Chains A and B, each alone.
Chain A
Amino acid sequence: MRSRSALFCALLFLSPGLLGLAAHAQGRIKGLRATVEGDQVQVSLRLEGGIDRRMLDRIDSGLPTRIVYEMELARDRKRWYDQGIKRTTLEVTAVYDAVARETNLHYRLAGELIESRTVRDRPALLDALRKIEHVPVFRTQGLTPGVRYLVIARALLGSRMVFSIIPTDTRTEWVESNKFRPPAVP
């Protein structure tokens, strides 16, 4: 009975994964850089591609449109169990106001609003969506001084439907940042 249930659950959870193979990334993250400033790990990155006509249409329609940057702080080891010491998301949401003809951008780190901005032209909008500069995403508290760490990140660029009914997320590949060592706490 237990084995039957396990088989059932395995099929249940594998099915979206198998279907998710149909989703493919259209952009990639470049220039992922992690720096330690005080007790903060700041991240900078740049998204290349990924913002297609469909996403721009969605923004222009006034629908809230998000790009979610998923980031993980990990030890610099190649073992799977060393991954994911800390994890967070930086969510950039664009909402276009057609009357005012401006786009409001909201930045949320781990769900907490950290910045809002208004842009009024397309280049500024794309720049605001694609460029992340020196955002303090992790704290060094709890990290072992002298041990090398790195940040891995990928971007969730929304979802699309496969065969009209199967929702799949569009994500970039995971990329790694430079390695860094947190300084010793005096």
Chain B
Amino acid sequence: MSLRDRLYEQSKNTRTLLLGLAGLLFVFTAIFYLLQRDREMPAYLVTNRVLLFVLWYVNIVLILAIVFVLMRDLFKLFLERRHRILGSKLKTKLVATYIGLSLFPVLTLFVIATELLQGSIDRWFATPVRPVLEQGNAVAQALFDQIQSSCASAARRTLADLGRVDLSRESERERLGGRLRALLAENDLDFLAVYEGTDFVQGVVDSRSGISDLPEPGRDLLGEAVTEGRAVRTVEPPGWRGRLVLAAVSGAAAGEAEAGDGGTTGGAKLDPLAADPAEPKPRIVVAGTLLDPVLAERTERLIEAFQTYRQLEVQKEDLRASHLLIFLMVTLLILLASTWTGLFLARRVTVPILALAEGTRRISSGDLDHRVEAPADDELGVLVASFNRMTEELQRSNRALQTTNERLAEERALLAAVLENVAAGIVSIDGSGRIFTCNGAALHMLQQREEEVVGRAPAEAWSDPERSKLAALLADLPEAPEADAGRRGRRAAREVQMVIGGDWKTFEVKVTPIRDAAGSRGRVLVLEDLTELIQAQQLAAWNEAARRIAHEIKNPLTPIRLGAERLLEKHRRGDPALGPAIEEAADIIVREVENLQEMVDEFSRYARMPRPRPTRLDLTRLIKETCHLYRDVKVGVPVVFASGSTDDLSAVDLPTVWIDGEQIRRALINLIDNGVEATDPPGTVTVSVDRGEDTLAIHVADTGRGIPPESKEKLFLPYFSTKGRGTGMGLAIVHRIVTDHHGALRVEDNRPAGTVFTIELPLG
């Protein structure tokens, strides 16, 4: 899901929530309005059948909606728990909590409020209102009855009084008005009228009553009077307030007649006033009494109040139902809203958590491309964002690691190729002391197979007496801290002779401590087969030595030969000076033979030079004594001893070393001797010492003429000399002594002039 989709989903959720809340607000407002109007509306509207059914249907819908929402979510939860979907327990707890928090208080409130409502309704009708209203109604009805009865009596008396009057006669009709007024006054009536059938004959009204016009009794009143003999009505007086009670009395009852096929809705009666024209019309007297407006109003109010109470009483159950249904509807709405909101909130909480759990599972299974896409804008949103950032970081690191691994693999392959193709034998030993790699050159030199070497300890791989020298070399390398590794890397190489495959081999062996990535120590052993090189060097050296020896031998032979030839010549010629010539020639021959003898002795000494016998020796003292020998040898060329940067011999702290003192003294003498000889006054020959961690360097520096570069290569060969005199064995002997001490001899140019010879001896 893209960011846009996520934002859309987010806004959709929020919009849904807002719409839901707005809808609820509207419903509650409508209900509140209806409840307010409920007080103003008549009871029969509140208890209207349609309204009750609508309320009931609304409640049914709400109940079903709640049940549906609850069942759907509970069923989904049940399925999730059954399938052991991650997060279902948390979701169940949240949903149960939300629903419990919603259901319990709402239902409790509903039950209590319902009881209160029912109790209130019962109490309304329990109060002694009905007797009061009933009595008031009875009084009011009795009043009407009394007035009606009085009117009926007056009408009856009037009818009796007029019984002997023949209204068809004009004279009688003229006297009727006065007669009626007298009866009106006599019976205390407000209205009195005579009808013949529906025909109005005459009527009088009390002028003090306020009735402005003659009231119309109505056809039904007259008809009823004819059929029933008596009829009463209470009507509104024309042009006046109050109530007019009319009583009609007929002289002859017409009796009831069944209705014919008139197409009406049952029981319609025959019009009693529509009698046969041939018969005389019935005489009807209508008497009326006007009820005082105030009294009439109060009487009617009493009657209406009782009626209203009876209506309430009749609608008691409907009212109760109506209120209960409205209350139930509000309760259900609240319940639906709270349940839905609870589920919605539970979903909002659990969805990101489930997405995170799923994301964790996917990422742990190696799917680093997975991202959690859960809409959340609170702390869970921060958590989701952090999770995604962590995943991105993890993916980036993983890619970098893969790249590094690939590069390392390439480098390793390249290194392996290099190792396989170098002439030197390279053996690496890991931190656990086992041989980790052994390149082809090393296997070839040692005439072994890889499986005989790799993975084994050196002592195991090289267990035979010859190869065990390598294992001994490795064992000799003392443990050193990491900081010493570099310095130990400068350690001088050692020559090791071994008989491999029946051949005498000479190897230059270098052991260098290393530290691998895990921090554990390891070593690298570099083998260089010097056998052929040494043989070639020896051959060349012997060639050079033979040439030199031949040259040196030839030099004394020439004067000897010349002396002998001169003696022979003198002898042949009988030269008288033969005697002195013999003496002179004999001297030359003896001298040159002595030179030859000296040369042979020197060579013999070089050849017979014994192996060094090292003893613990104070090197400082040895150097000081040697320097002391040359204190006044050459004027203007002092020999001084300095240690490092100081000339103070007392400050020199040289270790006690294991060396052959005589041989080292001889080597130093040779070097100092050469330096003094090569230095013209004013000059200096300086002897100094540098101490390293595992080596000791003795420098002999002069300020003399120096040595040409082309001569440096041959400098340590026997019978090579740049001085034009001497045997040329001095530096060869020095080199031999130093080599026998497992050291090295170097020659360098001194700055600004002269030469520096360095003897480097191993410590320990």
Give A residues with C-beta under 8 Å from B: 8, 11-12, 15-16, 42, 54, 57-58, 60-64, 92, 98-101, 107, 114-115, 117-118, 124, 127-128, 131-136, 158-161, 164-167, 169
Contacts and interface: CB of A to CB of B under 8 A. Distances in A.
Interface of B is mostly: helix
Given A63-B44, A98-B303, A161 B264 contact: no
B311 to A, nearest CB: 4
9 contacts: A15-B64, A42-B263, A54-B314, A58-B314, A117-B268, A131-B267, A132-B265, A133-B267, A159-B52
B266 A167 contact: no
Contacts of B44: 63-64
A165 B321 contact: yes
A127 B144 CA distance: 27
B313 interface: yes
Nearest to A116: B265
B248 to A, nearest CB: 14
**Of listed B56, B313, B325, residue having the most chain A CB within 10 A:** B56
Interface string B108-125: 000000000000000000
Contacts, number: 101
B317 A16 contact: no
A99 B314 contact: no
A165 B324 contact: yes
B265 A63 contact: no
Interface of B: 44, 49, 52-53, 56-57, 59-61, 64, 68, 137, 141, 144, 220, 233-234, 261, 263-268, 300, 303-304, 306-307, 310-311, 313-315, 317-318, 320-321, 324-325, 328
Given A63-B311, A164-B321, A12 B303 contact: no
B52 A167 contact: yes
Contacts of A127: 266-267
B307 A167 contact: no
Given A99-B303, A161-B321, A61 B313 contact: yes
A108 to B, nearest CB: 11
Contacts of B313: 57, 61
**Of listed B61, B265, B310, residue having the most chain A CB within 10 A:** B265
B314 A16 contact: no
A132 B324 CA distance: 38
Contacts of B261: 134
A134 B264 contact: yes
**Nearest 5 interchain pairs by C-beta:** A61-B310, A131-B266, A167-B52, A61-B311, A62-B307
A62 B44 CA distance: 10
Given A99-B300, A161-B321, A63 B315 contact: yes
A25 to B, nearest CB: 17
A134 B263 contact: yes
B64 A8 contact: yes
Contact of B304 (A11, A98, A131, A167): A98
A151 B234 CA distance: 43
Contacts of A92: 265
A1 to B, nearest CB: 12
Given A57-B310, A133-B265, A134-B264, A16 B57 contact: yes
